[in-house]
Structure 1
Amino acid sequence: MEYETFMNTLATVTKLLYLLIGTDRVNLSVTYAEEDEHLTDENEEYRIQGSILIAVQRLDGKSAKIL
């Protein structure tokens, strides 16, 4: 990954973190099965399967490759 691409990705992940911290309507967890995700019903909380920590860890690995 080139440095400029990395910096753009880092900025996007930072915006995502602030978005997730700033709302109570989005729940992100590795324990949700994909079938349990709620992404379309605006009356319910959004449940998303995944981990922001794993995404940041992968981004850190990419930054180490740049150096």
Structure 2
Amino acid sequence: MAKKNKEEKAKEVKYTKQQLLKSKRYVNRQDALTALLNDDKTYSHQDVEKILNDFYKGGKK
């Protein structure tokens, strides 16, 4: 159960666009993130994955 709480907290952590662009996790998707993310907003990793998945699948129209 403690493991689940740590996972939930990790999902809640928010990062700025600049922090995400410097992250090794998104090194191959920096161009897409530059275009898709707002400078004045923070995102969790879950948010970023959803944005990228929507973008690559054709996303919302």
TM-score for both structures, normalised by structure 1:
0.30
Larger radius of gyration: 1
Determine which structure has the larger helix proportion and give its number.
2
TM-score for both structures, normalised by structure 2:
0.32
